[in-house]
Structures are given as structure tokens and as C-alpha cells.
Amino acid sequence: MGEINETQRLQRLLDARHPCVFIPTFEEADALRVVRDACVDAGIGDVLEWSISTGLRDALVPASPVLLNTDHPAAALVTLQGRSDRLVAIMLDVAEHLKDARTMRVLRECIAHFGTTGSTLVLIDHATELPPPVRAMATRFDLALPDEPAIEKLVRDAIRTCGVDGKIKVELNRQELQTIVRNLRGLTPRQARQIIVDAVADDRCLNAGDIAAMLANKRRLLAGDQLLEFVESPVSLDEIGGLRRLKFWLEQRRESLGDEAIEFGLAPPRGVLMLGVQGAGKSLAAKAVATAWQRPLLRMDVGALYDKYIGESERRLKEALRQAEHMSPIVLWIDEIEKAFASAAAQSSDGGLSKRMFGTLLTWMQERTAPVFLIATANDIEALPPELLRKGRFDEIFFVDLPDEDARRQIFSIHLRKRKRDPKRFDLAALANASAGFSGAEIEQAILSAMHNAFARKVDLSTETIVEALGNSPPLSVTMAEKVAALREWSEGRCVPAD
């Protein structure tokens, strides 16, 4: 929450006598606590609270009597407008009632009146926006999400609270605790507390084994936004074949995510660009980053960014990037980035929209401070705007080529184990030799095709049935040989091989 906490920030607005403050949030209890504390600290003893279910009553005295005939918002506002002394009035979920012309009119008059008395009307609402006439009169106040010190305190408090009914065993070293704290960033105090409680509910223990489940719960809590999609990543890098140089690069930088690296003078890694043959494993490389660093992986749906209304596409992109920062630390994946901003690299046919969107992304990439690691993947380097390839935009540019013989053996082993087959029963050398030029995705499809054939013939899966399936489906490296060769030639000296 920075050097100034929420209560102090709001207290400043009250001291400056802002006539209307708007707090958009789903966390009503947290907002009410902040408002009440700010009023007490500011020395304001007259604080009223209104909701449709209770009407007006004292906000600082529990179970205080309700003022008669104030259940309707317009009636409550008329009562407030009749006060000439300084007070703070809190109204809950009033935005929906502003569709009524009378309530809208009285609200605007009440805000104008409060401007003359030094009073403040605080609107706490689940709605994200107010009608334009009210928005013009209100000061927006967004509740900040807790920072890492606040989250660590929250973790300790939650464990202490859970331990009231019995002892909670904590088996975490400092690094594991920091990983949990980082992964709870982007959540409200209530959400973070619930994830901690869920983690210790079954076994009354909090240890490194709970990290994956806590990430899954975070994904569940934050799911639902169409612009950012949570993507499941493998639990271990052992489930990813090949990509040896990329894995080494990730392992080398794992420690640079912590506070010790910052004290040493290292800035956290900011992102990589993955170029390569279609289906060669760029998506898997994105998952490898999330797996290696134990961070959630979010994919931006660039297709959902574009909107027919002027200005809406840019707003959607800024909102998606803002949400990514709130959810940090995360890995943000923009798949096939060249398609999203193709017109930015050539003469625009969309009125300059792609160039403006691309400019917004570049500015964010340059100026962001939140721990969001960006992965951009691309198949067509000619469609990429040259500004994206400039040194400094990414920490590294990797070229993901088709897997070599050793990587293909690993890929066969991984996919056979996934299908409940013992890789030792298969001739992996023969399979690797027969699959030269195949991508990891094509190898997986060949195994699936062989399993269907074996099942139809009522025989078990064997090396021979897989080799047969490989022979029946020529790889992309054959059907698009010229394009693959051109891509490999371009990458020479420009990119770091991922394998």
C-alpha cells in the first residue's frame, strides 16, 4: 500500500473537504472500515450510513436506531441536504437508484450543498462507473490492493486465527514464504485470507506443497474476464521436452526475482520474445516460464481487444494491462503478437487503430514497474513491427526450432507416460529417427492416431503402430519447407536457440 495507507489517503480527501468521494469495489466491508477509520482520525464524529435495507443511521455506533422515513434514497438525500453542520454520509449501492430522475436530481443538489458546508458524501458501490453528471462531481478513490509486507502480515494473522481451534504446522523456509506472498499479490485481503484458510483446512499444515493449490485457487477467484485467460501449466519442467537453453536461462534468473537480487543491483527480468516454426513448442515455452518460476500464466485474448466503437479498443487494452499488474507477479502471454498488431508494421488500413494499440503496448512495456513477465510468441517475423525487435524491448529473443533427436526421445517419453504407457517398452531411438522434422505437437498427434488405430484393431500400442502413424502424416516442415528454411535463415545470429 506504499508509504501512505488507505486510511491516510482518504483522510486527506476529507481534510480537503471534497463534497463527494466515489469508491467502486466489491469489498464493501474493507471500504467501510477505511471510511470509518479515516473519519475518526480526521476528528469527524458525525458519520451517517445509508443502505436500502436500513435507511440512515449512525455509522460509528453498532445497532444504532434508524432515522425515520429515510429508506428511500431520495428521502435520505433530502434529510442530508437539510443539515448545515459538517458531517460524512456514506451511501451503499446507490448507483442503481440513479436511474430514477428524482433521486438523481436530489443527489446532485445534495453534493452541491455539501460543497458549502464542508461535508463529504461517500458513495461505496459495486458499480464501476457513475452516471456522467455525478461522475463529474465526484472524486474517485480506488482501494489499493495490499503490498507484500501487508500480505505477509495477513498470512501470519490468518494462520494465527486458524490455529485458535488447534495447532497449525508451518513448514516453510523464507524463500517459500516469499513465493506464497508474491503469488497472493493482486488479491483483496478477504480473497488472500480465504486462500490461506483453504490451504490449511484439510491437513492443518502450510508448506511448499500448498503453493500449486493456492495458485489454482487464485486462478479460480480471478477467472471470468474475457481479456485475460488463465492457462494451466505443467507442475514440473520434467513434463516439457527439449528447450535446454531456455530452461538454463530460466533457472539462472530464478533467484533474480527476489529481494536479494534487487539489493545486488539486478532488475527483475521483464520479458522474452519467442519466434519459431508453427507447432514447434512456443506455447510450451511460455508454460515452461510459468512452471519454472511458479507464477500464474495469463494469456491475453487480442481478438477480444478490438471493438467497433472509437476509443473502446484502446481502453480494453489498457484495462487488460492494468488487470495484469494487479494480478502480478504473473507471466503474461501474448500469442501470435504479429496478428494482433499486423497493421502497425505497414500502411494502416484501420484508421491507425493498430498503431495506436501498438504504441500503448510499447509504452507499457517501457514504463511498467509491476512484476509482470511478458512472453510474446510469433510465427511470421516479417509481420512484426521493427520497434518490437529493438534491443531492450525484451531481455532475450529465442528461436524455437523443431526438436532434435534427443528432444524427440524426451517428447515421446513424456507423451507415452501421459497415456499410461511405460516408455521402456518402446524403441525410443527408432521413434526419434522416424519423426525427424516433426514438431512436438505433431508427435503427440501421431501417438493419439496410433492409439486409435491400435484400439480399433484390438491390439496394444507399439513402436510399429506409432511409426506407421508418423508415416501417414507428413509434418509441417515438409509441407511448408521453404517457409521453415527462410525462418531458420533469418534467426541465425539474431536469436538465441531455445534448445
Q: Is 59 exposed, middle or buried (0-12, 13-18, 19+ CB in 10 A)?
A: buried
Residue pair 292/237 in contact by the 8 Å Cβ criterion: yes
Task: Give every CB contact of residue 167 below 8 A, 6+ residues apart in sequence.
Answer: 204
CA distance 208 to 281: 29
Radius of gyration (Cα) for the chain, nearest Å? 28
Parallel/antiparallel/unpaired status of strands 47-51 and 55-58: antiparallel
> Which residues face 476 on adjacent strands?
none
pLDDT, residue 1, reads: 40
- Give the residues of the chain that fall short of pLDDT 70: 1-4, 163-166, 222-226, 235, 257-258, 303-312, 340-352
CATH of 237-400, one of 3.40.50.2020, 3.40.50.300, 3.30.200.210, 1.10.10.10: 3.40.50.300
Residue pair 377/283 in contact by the 8 Å Cβ criterion: yes
CA distance 385 to 374: 17
pTM: 0.62
- Using DSSP's 3-state secondary structure scheme, residue 122 falls into strand
Q: Count Cα atoms within 13 angstroms, Cβ side, for 409.
A: 9
CA distance 84 to 126: 30
Residue 351 grid coordinates: 484508421
Which alpha helices (H) appear in 281-425, and where do they start and end?
282-293, 312-327, 337-340, 353-367, 405-418
Tell me which CATH code domain 405-479 carries.
Answer: 1.10.8.60
Instruction: Give DSSP secondary structure letters for 340-382.
Output: HTGGGGSS-SSTTHHHHHHHHHHHHHHH--S-EEEEEEES-GG
- Using DSSP's 3-state secondary structure scheme, residue 272 falls into strand
pLDDT, residue 2, reads: 41
Tell me which CATH code domain 6-140 carries.
Answer: 3.40.50.300
Residue intervals in the chain for CATH 3.40.50.300: 6-140, 237-400
Number of DSSP helices (H) and strands (E) in the chain, helices first: 21, 15
Instruction: List strand residue ranges (DSSP E) for 177-270, in order.
Output: 205-207, 228-231
pLDDT, residue 203, reads: 81
Residue pair 311/278 in contact by the 8 Å Cβ criterion: no
Residue pair 80/121 in contact by the 8 Å Cβ criterion: yes
CA distance 204 to 488: 53
CA 201 to chain centre: 26
CA distance 229 to 324: 11
Tell me which CATH code domain 148-223 carries.
Answer: 1.10.8
Residue intervals in the chain for CATH 1.10.8.60: 405-479
